[in-house]
Amino acid sequence: MSDDEWKAAAVTLAESDPVLRRLVDQAGPPEVRAPNESHFGALVRAIVYQQLAGAAASAIHGRLVAAVPGGLTPESVLSLSDDDMRKAGLSGAKTASLRDLAAKVLDGTVILDPAGLKDEGDAEVVARLSAVRGIGRWTAEMFLMFQLRRLDVWPTGDLGVRKGFGLAWGIPMPTPKQLEPLGDPYRPYRSVVAWYCWRAAELYGNAADSALTR
């Protein structure tokens, strides 16, 4: 979806919900950067960055990209040896995840071509990606939101979304199970609501933390 569609969704939500109206006023229109790498490249990056600090992850990712001068593709990843992967700084587990991703793209388990993705619903994309070693539901949902820019993703397991929803709507932070139905009134724009939940956690989080220490 385009920037205009995300912004139009925010306007629609603000017109029907006073909490979102306040958040839109405070945080402005949603800003979702256009993808600057291939779908495969985005998933490779997600795997590499898992459980690593930003600088370390960036360095490892840079060495991995440099090891495949022709660019990150399933074929180029599978062409790398264990030694190549180790020199890039990848653990055995991440090497296995990258190879599993590449193999599943090539055998059709994971569909990444635009025409194929157009015919797949969000749940099917999540299910296919979750079949890859090292890719869980959260990673798949972030791929849907920020790489495919789909408008109705509701990442209930994300701590920032849960925290922000509680702060914005003035309720105790919901569990993932509790948050699931709370998103229903905002279909088909739950991705936009999630974006504003992250902003709410940033805007109100410090105030809430200060109140708890008084």
pLDDT score for 212: 32
CATH fold of 3-33+153-212: Endonuclease Iii, domain 2 (1.10.1670)
Contact 198, 164 (CB under 8 A): yes
- Distance, CA of 171 to CA of 173 (rounded, Å): 6
Q: What pLDDT score was predicted for residue 209?
A: 45
Q: What share of the chain is helix, strand, coil (3-state, %, to 5)?
A: 70, 0, 30
The domain 39-147 is placed in CATH, from the list 3.30.70.270, 3.40.50.970, 3.40.140.10, 1.10.340.30, at: 1.10.340.30
The Cα angle at residue 143 between residues 96 and 97, in degrees rounded to 5: 0
How far, rounded to the nearest angstrom, does the alpha carbon of residue 74 sit from its chain's CA centroid? 21
Q: Grade residue 207 by pLDDT with cuts at 50, 70 and 90.
A: low
Tens digits of per-residue pLDDT, 5-21? 999 999 999 999 999 99
**Across the chain, what does the average pLDDT equal?**
93
The CA distance from 169 to 55, in Å, is 35
**What residue spans of 67-189 are helical by DSSP H?**
74-79, 82-88, 92-106, 114-118, 122-130, 137-142, 159-169, 176-182
Give yes or no for residue 201 having a pLDDT over 70: yes
Name the token pair of 78. 């599978």
- Residue type for position 208: A
Distance CA 139, CA 57 (A): 16
Mean pLDDT of 46-54: 92
Instruction: List CB contacts of 50: < 8 A, sequence separation 6 or more.
Output: 94, 134, 139
Q: Where are the domains of the chain?
A: 3-33+153-212, 39-147
State what percent of residues in the chain have pLDDT above 90.
Answer: 86
Task: Kindly list the distances between the CA atom of residue 83 and the CA atoms of 58, 87, 148, in Å, as whole numbers in the listed order.
Answer: 19, 6, 33
Which 3 state secondary structure label does DSSP give 34? coil
| pLDDT beyond 90 at 1 | no
CA distance 10 to 192: 7
Q: Is the pLDDT of residue 54 over 70?
A: yes
Residue 197: what residue type?
Answer: C
- Determine the pLDDT at residue 50: 92
pLDDT in tens, 175-184: 999 999 999 9
